[in-house]
Homo-oligomer: A and B are copies of this chain.
């Protein structure tokens, strides 16, 4: 890292240089690991980040690098597996109470495509029907006037949707212990 650089921007520079990942749509610091023996060769401290890129991009990567499905990761050195797991948990949580999905989806997409992205992140099946309802109710996505052509096997054309905002918004801040509804809010309902 350069002496006059922040950790985040340093990371962006390295990713662009090494793996051609110039279109990181969302970057979030995960955690700093300081275990004395995380690397047996020498004392290191590592600050990990989560970087999200659109699922339709396929940036060229060097021969010693590869894309992996989280459930099929090769064995990793040191505490890397634990860090990856921690990152996935963070993403899983954020998908449920923010609009962070915008960073994983292309500009426009069908609900089925978005469902696949969510399934990959969450690790369990979810229905396109309910995904659509939830995201529409929260006004996280909205329908465009376009539709995707059906596959050659036939089928109804799928409406294309887009994310309403492409910056992080917390849409469900209070799961419980909500502050009492103020009179202002009551009037607006």
Asked if A8 and B32 make an inter-chain contact with CB atoms under 8 angstroms apart, the answer reads: no
User: Interface residues of A: mostly helix, strand, loop or mixed?
Assistant: loop
Q: Which of A34, A174, A177 has the most CB of B within 10 A?
A: A177
Question: Does A63 belong to the interface (CB within 8 Å)?
Answer: no
Cβ-based interface call for A183 (8 A): no
**From A134, which residue of chain B is reached at the shortest CB distance?**
B176
Bound complex: CA A69 to CA B179 (Å):
19
Residues of A1-23 at the interface with B, using a CB-CB cut-off of 8 Å, are: 3-8
Chain B residues near A43: list those with CB within 8 A: 3-4
Docked complex Cα distance between A175 and B122 (Å): 13
Asked whether any CB of chain B lies closer than 8 Å to the CB of A165, the reply is no
| Residue A36 is within 8 A (CB to CB) of chain B in the complex | yes
Distance to closest chain B CB from A168 (angstroms): 13
Quick one: CB contact mask for A166-184 with B, threshold 8 Å, 1 for yes? 0000001011110110000
Q: Is the CB of B177 within 8 A of A175?
A: no
Query: Do B47 and A174 have beta carbons less than 8 Å apart?
Result: no
B45 and A175 contact, CB distance less than 8 A: no
Q: Do B34 and A7 touch (CB < 8 A)?
A: yes
Distance in Å from the Cβ of A125 to the closest Cβ of chain B?
A: 6
Nearest-neighbour CB distance to chain B for A145, whole angstroms, equals 28
Q: Within the assembled complex, what's the spacing in Å between the Cα atoms of A92 and B62?
A: 43
Query: 9 tightest A-B contacts by CB?
Result: A124-B179, A7-B34, A32-B32, A6-B34, A96-B175, A32-B47, A96-B176, A126-B177, A175-B175
